[in-house]
A and B are shown apart, each in its own frame.
Chain A
Amino acid sequence: MTRGARVLLLGPYVLLLAVFFTVPLLLMLAISLSRQSFGQLEWTLTPQHYIHFFTDAYYLGVLADTLWLGAITTVVSLLLGYPLAYHLALTRSRWKPLLIVFILSPLLVGIVIRCYGWMILLADRGLINATLVQHGWLTTPLPLMYNKFGVTVALVHVFLPFMVLSLTGVLKRIEPQLIEASQTLGASPRRAFFEVTLPLSLPGILAGSLLVFSLAISSFVVPILVGGFKVHVLPMVVYEQMLSVFDWPFGAANAFVLLLISVALIAVYIKVTERALRGIV
């Protein structure tokens, strides 16, 4: 096939991307810099909405909460996912395919259904609290839902597969002989893990963390349903501004703040991995 023909084959996708992604994104950027009066957009170039965002304690608080939720979700996913990935990478069990299905199962259930599932478990009269109260172990129900705890639990549940799969791929490629070599040199199994396995799995940790973090800070349905509008995150603010308040310029500015933070994180990630991967790839 000639070069021209191959480029031509890319055409439909490039067109799709341009029309439905690049153009709307540029439009959003333009809107975030425009002014709105009496429901009419005036095409200007004003940073006022960004200034508004970064000077209002409420929005800064929402930003901090969003990043905090992302960080907690990432750390918990990593702590839960690492042992899982380690087992998955090393097991020779014939049940391995089933194990993978179990790990992926949260992704097979619709997001709304999954959230209602958590509500049944975590609500004040949900399964957990009802059981505890009924047996007289508690007098008042534990605050499991409509707070950051509940949202974190639900977010970890969905995003854990991304962490596990990122880690498994890297852990599987670590030569078992490297662990053995460290052991003949006097490293206990524990020491061998911290000296060899952990540093060599760093690329997987970074990839999985970035993926989970960026998914978590942009999640919308989970904070609304499990957080019950009591946990405020940035995607929710964007939604409110756009569709309840109809302040499109400010909503667009919020969305761009979120986007820029994600892009900045990816840039930092690439820089850090380059250094951490020294000698590994």
Chain B
Amino acid sequence: MEQGDALTEAPRASGTVTLTNLAKRYGATRALDGVSLAVAPGEFFTLLGPSGCGKTTTLRSVAGFVTPDAGDVAINGTVVTRVPPHLRHVGMVFQHYALFPHRTVAQNVGFGLRMQRVDKAEIARRVAEAVALVQLPGYGGRYPGQLSGGEQQRVALARALVTRPAVLLLDEPLGALDKKLRDHIKIELKRLQREVGITTIYVTHDQEEALTMSDRIAVMHRGRVEQVAAPRGLYETPATAFVASFIGNINLLAGRAAGSNTVDCGSATLAATGAAPAGAAVAVALRPERVRLDPTGAVDTVLAMTVAHVVYQGETVRYILKSDAGLELQALELGEVRFTAGARVRAGWAAADAQIIQEGIA
């Protein structure tokens, strides 16, 4: 609590964002198609999805740059759907930071305070605090053009936080940075967010960013929310085939539900977890690292397969397996290469590791 006191002491309990049935069309495309979300105070909430899925439009409706055709946006319980951006009191970090090139770092950070007509001495004090919070002391007199990408990013963050907004919006803020810097800033950003305790909505198409930083993630696809869950829940129990395939690598085995916790995929009967009406078209979602080759312990399903390809990836080895009936499966193992192409193996898994996904849920 030594630096950035003013930022952390502000009461934060009320920073909620609630979206109710947001809809937005651009011509024939539905950018948002009934988006409802509730972000809790202090939460790091991520909107994740491929480009064009509606995540940025959702974020921009919270900021006020997009007015939805239908539905409501509420910040701290107040409906702000028709309130212009400058009266919403949100902090936003843009993809390319959008620092004012004609103003110094200190003037950039102090801009929001000046708009609020805070007096000069107070601005100077709070700007110094904010610049210290993002670990850029002594940078106040520089121009954005003289800063590296990572430094610009931190200035943008300080500028967004210094006015103590109700919610912080981040639009792919790591997109313009190189990989090494990104990994570093990811941790830094999360630390800062926890320290300040601000409700944060983060937009990204990068699942790794989403999984490592978020408290909860909403996966979006074609203007709709596919699933909202904590990172682990999203990875381990995806609700739809889209979520399953978008997050990490996964085997999706198509078949029909046959009784409880079993799926008939034509050539074999698979054990999995989840309920679906008998006969319904479903998919079994199974992570490659949960497939055990020549299992020694207890498994619920065992298939006889042939190793078609071996992909050596250093710390892991990926096997592409094929059954005689044409079923394809990927398996991932840590450590040394145990099988070579052409080898016959038994691939098995526990029912708890395979999820039944009802197609058509999305």
Contacts and interface: CB of A to CB of B under 8 A. Distances in A.
B86 A183 contact: yes
B111 A185 contact: yes
21 contacts: A177-B98, A180-B94, A181-B94, A181-B100, A182-B115, A183-B85, A184-B63, A184-B86, A184-B88, A184-B91, A185-B111, A186-B86, A186-B87, A189-B84, A189-B86, A278-B102, A279-B102, A279-B144, A279-B145, A280-B101, A280-B102
A184 B94 CA distance: 11
Interface in B85-141: 85-92, 94-96, 98-104, 111-112, 115-116
Contacts of A181: 92, 94, 98-100, 159
Contacts of B160: 184-185
Interface string A173-203: 0010110111111111101100110011000
A188 B143 CA distance: 24
Given A175-B96, A181-B94, A184-B92, A199 B159 contact: no
B142 to A, nearest CB: 9
B199 interface: no
Q: Which of A177, A178, A180, A279 has the most CB of B within 10 A?
A: A279
B115 A178 contact: no
Contacts of B100: 178, 181-182, 196
A199 B102 contact: yes
Contact of B102 (A186, A189, A200): A200
Contacts of A185: 86, 111-112, 115, 159-160, 163
A187 B115 CA distance: 6
Given A175-B96, A177-B96, A182 B111 contact: yes
Contacts of B143: 278-279
Contact of A180 (B65, B144, B145): B65
Interface of A: 175, 177-178, 180-189, 191-192, 195-196, 199-200, 278-280
A252 B168 CA distance: 67
Interface residues of B, number: 33
B188 to A, nearest CB: 21
Nearest to A277: B102
A152 B112 CA distance: 43
Q: Which of A185, A196, A199, A279 has the most CB of B within 10 A?
A: A185
Nearest to B103: A279
Interface in B153-169: 159-160, 163, 169
Contacts, number: 78
Given A182-B111, A183-B86, A279-B145, 13 more contacts: A177-B94, A178-B98, A181-B99, A181-B159, A185-B111, A185-B159, A186-B89, A188-B86, A189-B84, A191-B86, A192-B86, A196-B100, A278-B143
Interface string B270-307: 00000000000000000000000000000000000000
Interface in B51-107: 63-65, 84-92, 94-96, 98-104
A188 B64 CA distance: 12
Contacts of B112: 185-186
Contacts of B98: 175, 177-178, 180-181
Q: Which of A183, A189, A191, A192 has the most CB of B within 10 A?
A: A183
A199 B111 CA distance: 14
Given A177-B94, A181-B92, A181-B94, A279 B101 contact: yes
A272 to B, nearest CB: 14
Contacts of B103: 279
Contacts of A175: 96, 98
Contacts of A279: 101-104, 143-145
Q: Which of A177, A189, A191, A192 has the most CB of B within 10 A?
A: A177
A177 B92 CA distance: 11
Q: Which of B85, B87, B90, B144 has the most CB of A within 10 A?
A: B85
A189 B86 CA distance: 8
Contacts of A196: 100
B101 A200 contact: yes
A199 B102 CA distance: 8
Nearest to B89: A186
Given A175-B96, A279-B143, A184 B102 contact: no
Contact of B116 (A184, A186, A189): A186
A191 B94 contact: no
Nearest to A180: B65
Nearest to B115: A186
B171 to A, nearest CB: 9
B231 to A, nearest CB: 28
B26 to A, nearest CB: 13
B348 to A, nearest CB: 52
Ranked nearest first, the 8 interchain pairs of A and B with the lowest CB-CB distance are: A186-B115, A185-B112, A279-B143, A181-B98, A177-B98, A183-B85, A184-B92, A183-B86
